[in-house]
Amino acid sequence: MDVVWLKRDVRLQDHGPLSHAARTKNPVILLFLYEPDQLVEPTVHGSHLLFVHEGLVDLERQLLLQQHHEEEKTTIDSFQYITISHCSAIDAFQFIHRKYTIHRLLAHQETGHWQSFMRDKQVRKFCRSNSIPFTEFNQTGVTRCLKSRDDFSAKFQAFISQPQHSTPDMPMLCQQIVQMKDIPGFMPNLTLPLDQFSEIPNSHRQDRPDRQQKGGLTKACATLDSFLSERGSKFSQGISSPNTAWTTCSRLSPYLAWGHISHRHVVHALKQRQEQLRKMNQQGRNIGTWLKGLQAFSSRVHWRSHFIQKLESEPTMEKRDLCPAYQDLRRRNGDWNEEYYQAWAQGKTGFPFVDACMRCLLQHGWLNFRMRAMLVSFATYNLWLDWKKLAPHLARVFLDYEPGIHYPQLQMQSGTTGINAMRVYNTTKQGKDHDTEGNFIRRYVTELRKVPTEYIHEPSKMPLSLQQQCNVVVGRDYPKPIVHEQESAKVAKKKVADVKRQSETRSMANQVYMKHGSRSRGREEMEGRKPKALSSFVERDDPSNQPTITTVFERSMLKQQVSFEGWKQVSLAGSTTVCEDGANASENRSKSIASDEEMATNAVDNSIKRHFISMNGSEQTGAKRQKPNPTKTSSWTCRACTFLNDKPLGLVCSMCSTMRHKGLC
Ligand SMILES: Cc1cc2nc3c(=O)[nH]c(=O)nc-3n(C[C@H](O)[C@H](O)[C@H](O)COP(=O)(O)OP(=O)(O)OC[C@H]3O[C@@H](n4cnc5c(N)ncnc54)[C@H](O)[C@@H]3O)c2cc1C
């Protein structure tokens, strides 16, 4: 029995595992799992599950349609082909293996969050110990165990220009498929009982009030077609404003994120359309701004893999700052302000454009890029909140949550990568530029709908009499601005710039650039200005301008005197699997994480070490080190990243390198 494990790839077209399974004519189980250990992740939202479920229904329908060739027979009342189960991957595979003996496990390679990475490791171990070949197919164009970032583009191009996997012969495939009705947690129903998923908190176990995008390959193809034939010509002009982006952006992100359409399919369709337009152009036909629009779209689609590659090469990006120098920024005592967080998360900050953006997300689950970046900038600079604690909320409100884009973007927008220009958005100016008349604000911040355009971006500046006339008294019906925008931005910029100016930061940033920085000529558009890291990290700043590490971080670790024994990396032994290209039988991502961990840990290690030397004139000797507290004998949870550390005497979190502050962990 072959098992095709459907993950973020619920589609029939350009599907490596399905295509391969269909070729052999062996019996096959099409398995989709709602895994309790993945559902507990705080990033999960009911809207994600419903979107994926719609994709499953669409897939089932296509199988039926192909089987019967008659539209009327495709009305389905339960799943008959796909096996859907609410149970862990290991339980499911163990059960199937006991019953049938699994000959091959076929799936797509996933660059997911930490928890899915750990699950994949367990699955590989299970396969290894049961001698089950596990083949993982590439669907994003990222490379496992990429040796040098210089090679990324060539490898991506090689991947993307390959032909798509052939769509299986449907009637034949239907004959092969075996549905396992007795699998634990079997879910045959066409309606998804969200209530059943008790792993997800009640408040997240629901749909968006007005989620306009529905899942499935059929919808994905319709969205792509309408973009390439009608909407794409205005892409460049329309992407910045939330009023126009709604239709001028492709809106393919949830389909790409959940694999309802393949990246390669999108790129091939795009190239075909570009070719057609070029020919029309040569014939002297008026093609307006089509080519410009599609070129800009093409770059963005390429960025997708560029960003996912970062998480693939640095899986800890979800948990810690890419550039370790920024590790303590926004994480000192008193930095976290729950009231600010709640106001931001609910769209009640008193900044109308910010609030409208957040409320738009809460209602529909989608927002254009610029506005997402602005939301993060406002939270991490003006409100000085830690990006790690914002990540789950944003993941939930983004219907297109894709870890490989999400975490690198979050870090980029909050200035912790070391290689990107600092981007602090003036939200009032953004509102005036991109929602001049205030239409977007009025649509989502309904309490302001009667406010005249003159004051719509700053209602607190309205005279009280006018406020009363408009039925909105600021401070009563709509919040006063929770911070002073310019002042808070100024303070934040200085704090970040102070860290950035450190020579240690520059050398760390240089390492980050070598490993993750874009080598493309269009990098400035994608990632901001060329990092000073490479050009200037060897230059010396005037030492009198340079704040010391103590003034910047006020690190309690320096007071505590860290034991370097605490900095041992987590052991992440590799397991065996087969990659699609058959190149290497070792589990690349496991190996890569081990070496990444090593690199990142060493980078922090050395910098901290240097600071010890500079503070005391000499390196701390073993005799001077503070002895670990012998009373702490159990595992402990990091207060910054919530990782459960199993080294009872460790003084720093093995995952994110945050200090284990006395009494807080
Ligand atoms: C803080 C933050 C978090 C984000 N998180 C996600 C996420 O979880 N999932 C996600 O798909 N996008 C994310 N983005 C990127 C971007 O905002 C969305 O991809 C885009 O808004 C989706 O709309 P669209 O499909 O119409 O995009 P289009 O502009 O039409 O672009 C087409 C496709 O290109 C890719 N793309 C576009 N912009 C980017 C970008 N800046 N970086 C990487 N890929 C890009 C996406 O796959 C997108 O679907 C994030 C951006 C920010 C600032």
Is ligand 1 within 6 A of the CB of residue 249? Answer: yes
- pTM (2 d.p.): 0.82
What is the distance in A from the centroid of ligand 1 to the CA of 302? 11
Phi, psi of 136, rounded to the nearest 5 degrees? -115, 130
Of all atoms in ligand 1, which is nearest to the CA of residue 410? 1
Is ligand 1 within 6 A of the CB of residue 103? Answer: no
Task: Give 128: exposed, middle or buried? Use CB within 10 Å, 0-12, 13-18, 19+.
Answer: middle
Phi, psi of 539, rounded to the nearest 5 degrees? -75, 155
**Rounded CA separation 465/262 (Å):** 56
Alpha-carbon dihedral angle through residues 539, 542, 545, 548, given to the nearest 10 degrees: 60
- The residue type of 78 is S
Looking at residue 506, its pLDDT comes to 83
Looking at residue 514, its pLDDT comes to 79
**Rounded CA separation 252/261 (Å):** 9
Residue nearest to atom 2 of ligand 1 (CA): 409
Looking at residue 533, its pLDDT comes to 34
Alpha helices in 114-262 (DSSP H): 114-129, 152-160, 170-176, 217-226, 235-238, 242-248, 253-257
- The residue type of 314 is E
Alpha-carbon dihedral angle through residues 416, 420, 422, 424, given to the nearest 10 degrees: -90
Per the DSSP assignment, residues forming a β-bridge with 636 are 645
What is the distance in A from the centroid of ligand 1 to the CA of 154? 22
Q: Which residues are annotated as a binding site for FAD?
A: 297
Which residues are CB-contacts of 212 (< 8 A; sequence separation ≥ 6)? 364, 366
Which residues are CB-contacts of 147 (< 8 A; sequence separation ≥ 6)? none
What is the distance in A from the centroid of ligand 1 to the CA of 285? 32
Starting at the edge strand found earlier in the chain, the sheet holding 28-33 runs 83-85, 28-33, 2-6, 104-108, 134-137, 578-579
Phi, psi of 81, rounded to the nearest 5 degrees? -110, -55
3-class DSSP state for residue 56? helix
Name all domains of the chain by residue range, CATH numbers in brackets: 2-204 (3.40.50.620), 217-304 (no CATH), 315-496 (1.10.579.10), 555-573+588-645 (no CATH)
Residue nearest to atom 29 of ligand 1 (CA): 249
Consecutive H or E run containing 86: none
Q: Which of 139, 253, 416, 430 to mutate to test the pocket of ligand 1 (most atoms within 8 A of CB)?
A: 253
Alpha-carbon dihedral angle through residues 454, 460, 464, 468, given to the nearest 10 degrees: 80
Name the token pair of 108. Answer: 């797509």
Cβ pair 508, 514 in contact under 8 A:
no
DSSP 380: I
Which residue do the tokens 């449907």 mark? 170
Of all atoms in ligand 1, which is nearest to the CA of residue 252? 25
Is ligand 1 within 6 A of the CB of residue 410? Answer: yes
Which residue do the tokens 């301008």 mark? 545
Cβ pair 156, 518 in contact under 8 A:
no
Looking at residue 420, its pLDDT comes to 82
Consecutive H or E run containing 107: strand 104-108
Which residues are CB-contacts of 373 (< 8 A; sequence separation ≥ 6)? 409, 413, 423, 425
Which residue do the tokens 């001028």 mark? 248
Is ligand 1 within 6 A of the CB of residue 391? Answer: no
DSSP 585: S
Residue nearest to atom 20 of ligand 1 (CA): 369
DSSP 10: -
Is ligand 1 within 6 A of the CB of residue 301? Answer: yes
Looking at residue 74, its pLDDT comes to 57
Looking at residue 460, its pLDDT comes to 97
Is ligand 1 within 6 A of the CB of residue 462? Answer: no
Q: Which of 230, 249, 265, 300 to mutate to test the pocket of ligand 1 (most atoms within 8 A of CB)?
A: 300
Looking at residue 68, its pLDDT comes to 63
Cβ pair 317, 412 in contact under 8 A:
no
**Rounded CA separation 622/601 (Å):** 20
Looking at residue 76, its pLDDT comes to 76
Is ligand 1 within 6 A of the CB of residue 405? Answer: yes
Residue nearest to atom 11 of ligand 1 (CA): 253
Cβ pair 39, 46 in contact under 8 A:
no
Average pLDDT per run of 10 along the chain, which is 665 residues long? 97 96 94 98 98 96 75 73 98 97 97 94 97 97 90 94 94 93 95 95 97 97 98 96 97 98 98 98 96 96 94 92 91 96 98 98 98 98 97 98 96 90 94 98 98 98 97 97 97 94 84 74 52 33 33 32 29 33 36 32 32 33 39 62 67 64 42
Looking at residue 504, its pLDDT comes to 85
Which residues are CB-contacts of 68 (< 8 A; sequence separation ≥ 6)? 74
Is ligand 1 within 6 A of the CB of residue 257? Answer: yes
3-class DSSP state for residue 106? strand
Residue nearest to atom 6 of ligand 1 (CA): 406
Q: Which residues are annotated as a binding site?
A: 297
Looking at residue 454, its pLDDT comes to 97
Residue nearest to atom 31 of ligand 1 (CA): 300
Q: Which of 44, 250, 405, 414 to mutate to test the pocket of ligand 1 (most atoms within 8 A of CB)?
A: 405
